[in-house]
A and B are shown apart, each in its own frame.
Chain A
Amino acid sequence: MPRRYRFSLFPIVLAAFITVISWPVFVACATAIGYFMGESWQLEAWHQEPRLHLLNYFSEGWIASAPIAVGIGILAAIDWLLFARKRLLSFFAGVLLPLAGASAALLLWHDPMELLPTLACTGVALAIAYRMAEFARRVTD
């Protein structure tokens, strides 16, 4: 595939990638924070409920969160178009993801502190995944 097509397709690939991993990353962040705080339902359920149930709850969340995940994927693509392509601004690439997470918690949630650590952590983890995807693109380019 010619280089310019690959370049223009990349934001779509990036959006799809971020869309798919958003929910697993959210669950991983929530579990990690819950583990350190000692306040995670999933770690309690691990020994008390069939593992298949946890998987069902996970799949249910993955499907239900899809519209939000698509939004995050598009945001990642916009971020890439704004920052990643320019040498100076590329330092900030991915910054919109944690910012969006923190803003969503602060503006939309009744009790921001309930959601802020998990969404901020998810945003940072997704930004890292985005930077790795961008790194992979550059290496293979």
Chain B
Amino acid sequence: MPDSRHDTCALLWASLAVASALLSSSSLADDVILIGGGYTPLRSEAQIEANVIWAQETLRQQGLAVETWFTDGNASGADVVTVEHTEGSPTEPLARVFGDRYLERLRYREHQVQNVTGSTDADELLPTLQTRLADSDDDVLLVYNGHGSESSGQPADVSISLWNDSSISAREMHELLADSDTSFRYIFTQCFSGGFHRLAYEDADQGLALSEPPRCGFTAESAYRLAEGCSASLAIGDYRDYSTYFFAALSGRDRAGKYILNDPDLNEDGIISPREAHLFTLEEAHSADLSRSSSEDYLEAWQPWYLRWLPRQPQLPDNEYARLYRNIATRLGIELDNNTAKQLKLDIRTLQARLHELTLTRTSLRQRERELQDLMIQSLMRQYPALLGPYTAGFAELVNSGTIFDIANSIAATPDYTDLVAMQSSDDALDTQLLETERELVQRMKLLRMRRLAHLVDQLARHGSQLSQDRYAALLSCEERPLQ
């Protein structure tokens, strides 16, 4: 039975994808600017590359013209880092003892993204973006997949981290868009990406007056939180960032190629709009991201002082966020009644305490790990002082004579090494537990956020001025417009 259901779903999705492509090809195309990659080879994880390739394919399948900017562009030199999961290299015992266990597993290579226009170095990208945005007659969609930095001041000072340690802040992008006459939409998946929602407003710093022409978009996180996807686990399915779900909704398949089972097409018009993809992401993502759209950002900023502090009514109004709340709660097995919100807060406190406990355990474990490493290093130094300087002639001699492998073998034979490996395995297990606990915690935070948004939509309808309601409707309309 499950197989036949899966086949039916697959058939439905294939039909939908074809219909979507046909509809798309008959309209004017959005210009897509896809920017991706890290800011140095060490922070240019292959998972970002995988997401960029996937986003590129998905958007092209939608009939869109995609211009891709990735790390160093077409320059030669390693610009992507992968993590090898295989253990047991001849030098592994040394790497474990000298604290280079993570670096030992890293491998660097050229990126494999096709049709790259240029480098994301801000010096190269910024002028090109300026020209592209000023000259474009079509709507522009900007998709960013990479890292981001937080701001100690205004949300508009958050930035995307680009190649060669350069960056572009939301404020700079806001200035770039000042000369543009076309509609602009964005998808930012990096940490602290929420600050880029200020692009939707006329003023980068304050106020609720919207930009003209309209701008809207989606971010993986608020301006104050890290996003998931910063981990370097590279096996497909291990990492789940905003684009993992967003592009799955657009393409009808997940990143591993499996058809998605839940239909993101809420209005059943046969086309998945960016907003539908976002709502799908909110519902389906079991990740550590608290994603948001520009219209949601607007709702939160709009709430007037006399409503902001009031306790909400336990009864939820009837809207799409209430539906999402109920669906997510059901998926998580959370009972829905008048005490649910209270219970969610208790759960959050419990999970936060668990996170704290895990962090303390890890800190103490790492402390013991370091003490053991120091003891082992001291013992090794007495026998092989050349190990002290890994870039010296004495060290090179150890390597050339093959002594380094004998040292590694002798380390591996000690009981201390067995203890160290056990500690480091526990450390890895703790990392996994921390990530899982964080995901569980964020799911509950998301439920509370869905409740809040459900009430905010209702409050805007009841208490908002006509102007406020028109602005919200304009953002919704911008988010709902299909990619074409």
Contact = CB atoms under 8 A, between A and B. Distances in A.
A39 B454 CA distance: 13
B305 A38 contact: no
B392 interface: no
Interface in B325-343: 339-343
B84 to A, nearest CB: 36
Q: Which 7 A-B pairs have the closest CB atoms?
A: A38-B342, A34-B311, A38-B341, A61-B305, A39-B312, A30-B309, A33-B311
A34 B312 contact: yes
Given A50-B224, A64-B305, A113 B345 contact: no
B309 A48 contact: no
Interface of B: 222, 224-225, 290, 305-306, 308-314, 339-345, 348, 352, 445, 448-449, 451-452, 462-463
B438 to A, nearest CB: 12
Interface stretch (A69-77, A114-122, A123-131, A132-140): A114-122
Contacts of A40: 311-312
A60 B206 CA distance: 14
B345 A61 contact: no
Given A37-B314, A38-B345, A47-B352, A27 B224 contact: no
Contacts of A30: 309-311
Interface of A: 26-27, 30-31, 33-34, 37-44, 47-50, 57, 60-61, 64-65, 110-111, 113-115, 117-118
A76 B456 CA distance: 34
Contact of A48 (B308, B445, B451): B445
Contacts of B449: 44
A55 B339 CA distance: 28
Contacts of A61: 305-306, 308-309
B462 to A, nearest CB: 6
A31 B452 contact: no
Contacts of A64: 305-306
> How would you classify the secondary structure of chain B's contact residues: helix, strand, loop or mixed?
helix
A44 B462 CA distance: 23
A40 to B, nearest CB: 6
A44 B445 contact: yes
Contacts of A38: 314, 339-345
A99 B312 CA distance: 22
B68 to A, nearest CB: 34
Contacts of A113: 313
13 contacts: A34-B310, A37-B312, A38-B340, A38-B343, A39-B312, A39-B341, A42-B309, A44-B345, A44-B445, A50-B224, A65-B306, A114-B313, A118-B311
Contacts of B310: 30, 34, 114-115, 118
Contacts of A26: 309
A64 to B, nearest CB: 5
A37 B341 contact: yes
A27 B224 CA distance: 24
B221 to A, nearest CB: 10
A64 B304 CA distance: 10
Contact of B222 (A33, A37, A41, A48): A48
Nearest to B348: A47
A26 B341 CA distance: 22
Given A39-B314, A57-B305, A113-B313, 16 more contacts: A26-B309, A27-B309, A30-B309, A31-B309, A33-B311, A34-B312, A37-B314, A38-B339, A38-B344, A39-B312, A44-B345, A47-B352, A57-B309, A64-B306, A114-B313, A115-B310
A117 B314 CA distance: 13
B445 to A, nearest CB: 7
Contacts of B225: 48
A39 B455 CA distance: 11
Nearest to A64: B305
B448 A44 contact: yes
B345 A43 contact: yes
Contacts of A34: 310-312
A132 to B, nearest CB: 24
B335 to A, nearest CB: 14
B309 A41 contact: yes
A57 B343 contact: no
Contacts of B445: 44, 47-48
Contacts of B305: 57, 60-61, 64-65
A117 B311 contact: yes
Nearest to A32: B311
Nearest to B449: A44
Contacts of B313: 39, 113-114
A1 to B, nearest CB: 38
A86 to B, nearest CB: 35
Given A47-B352, A48-B290, A65-B306, A37 B311 contact: yes
Contacts of A44: 345, 445, 448-449, 452
A48 B452 CA distance: 13
A48 B221 CA distance: 11
Contacts of B224: 48-50
A37 B342 CA distance: 7
Most chain B C-beta atoms within 10 Å of own C-beta, residue among A31, A38, A40, A43: A38
